[in-house]
Amino acid sequence: MKDLFERIVKDKGPLGKWAKQAEGYYVFPKLEGEISNHMKINGKEVITWSINYYLGLANHPDVRKVDAAAAEDYGMAYPMGARMMSGHTKYHEQLERECAEFVNKESAYLVNFGYQGMVSAIDALVTKNDVIVYDMDSHACIIDGVRLHQGKRFTFVHNNMESFEKNLIRAVRIANETGGGILVISEGVFGMRGEQGKLKEIVALKKKYNFRLLVDDAHGFGTLGKTGAGAGEEQGVQDEIDVYFATFAKSMAGIGAFFGADKDVIQYLQYNMRSQMFAKSLPMAMVKGALKRLDMIRTMPELKDKLWENTNALQKGLKENGFNIGNTNTCVTPVFLEGDIPEAMAMVNDLRENHRIFCSIVVYPVIPKGMILLRLIPTAAHNLDDVDKTIVAFSSIREKLEKGIYKRISASFV
């Protein structure tokens, strides 16, 4: 019999094998200063395009005032215990009511973390007799939730309706045999590609195949739709989403998340989601802060307007300069380049040290081998000067990549 840790020592995984070269700079970097469009890394100021606070609320003076007052009034521990036992307050209920109203759902359920909540909700919603059909590009929280499912599950090609319907037919056949139902899962906005899920096309098939729809709208909440209620509102199908999910960690620049659905569904989740039944309640400072942030989203449309002004300028400038930003129709702005992991490391070093640009780098296994994705997250805190400087910097690094300069530099990384 082998020692359990023998494999761990020998095989660090596709990303872990680069830990010696990457840790502390390329992964686990230490950004310093207030959350802003300009922060510091290793003492040098950089334009930051990698922080998911779309509306620029992280350091808004009104937000900080409420956060500070809540921490002073309640501390960071209150309420203690799980919601079902001793961690329930009128403010948690108020936040749930206001979230439900904002996304046009009958009821809502507050959860501590988006990732944890999604995993647990999928586990609660289905039994071994049910079938899950989900987009193959879904976020890791969805994939991990589906892994807990003891019944059948099928993936469909990303945003491909022919593949989707083909797998629905398979799901119906199995559900008829087991006596179960079908849960379809998509994202409102896919966080890597920036594409909206084809929610309108998906809901058009609901009557034909009798499925229920769960949508993870982490990146759509606050950024899409007339009021900011997300991708469902943007596409005119919010009422057809059976279980709507959004996190506070993006547009609201906070901690927490919620599910919105009919009252019966929410009550079921309240009594069956293990991650919440056995977890400490979300601290009051987070709850009161979320109430303030939600109010600002409702009453300050200029925040979303500024976000889209910056987004449109960035994406227009990139396309005009010949960059491939895929099919994004949201604020998420991917820039696709060709190269290997060592080249990507050399390129990012150049971006940060010489051009003072900080953005997320995505490589295999998240995307296919031979590709590099530089992922930009514009916010309301950015400005057009940030956009101009970034496009100039990207033009420079693309030229070096194509000339093989990073290939030669990266030889020292291997």
Q: Are 393 and 357 in contact (CB under 8 A)?
A: yes
Q: Is the pLDDT of residue 366 over 80?
A: no
The residue with tokens 């129709």 is 329
pLDDT tens digit sequence for 59-112: 899 999 999 999 999 999 999 998 889 989 999 999 999 999 999 999 999 999
Q: Are 247 and 92 in contact (CB under 8 A)?
A: no
Cβ partners under 8 Å of residue 73, min gap 6: 284
Q: Right CATH number for 6-54+301-410 from 1.10.287.70, 3.30.1960.10, 3.90.1150.10, 3.30.1330.80? A: 3.90.1150.10
Residue 413 is predicted with a pLDDT of 58
**Residue 203 CB neighbour total at 10 angstroms:** 22
> 304: helix, coil or strand?
helix
Distances (CA, A) of 37 to 100, 204, 228, 346: 31, 40, 22, 23
Q: Are 113 and 121 in contact (CB under 8 A)?
A: no
* Domain ranges in the chain with CATH number 3.40.640.10: 61-299
Residue 414 is predicted with a pLDDT of 56
> 207: helix, coil or strand?
helix
| Burial of 283 per CB tally in 10 Å (0-12, 13-18, 19+) | buried
Highest mean pLDDT among 252-256, 358-362, 408-412: 252-256
Q: What is the pTM of this model?
A: 0.94
Residue 369 is predicted with a pLDDT of 86
Percent of the chain past pLDDT 70, that is, above it, reads 100
pLDDT tens digit sequence for 263-303: 999 999 999 999 888 889 999 999 999 999 999 999 999 99
Q: Please give the class, per CATH, of domain 61-299.
A: alpha beta
Distances (CA, A) of 120 to 154, 273, 388: 19, 6, 43
* Domain ranges in the chain with CATH number 3.90.1150.10: 6-54+301-410
Confidence of residue 154 (pLDDT cuts 50, 70, 90): very high
Q: Are 260 and 329 in contact (CB under 8 A)?
A: no
Residue 288 is predicted with a pLDDT of 96
Percent of the chain past pLDDT 90, that is, above it, reads 80
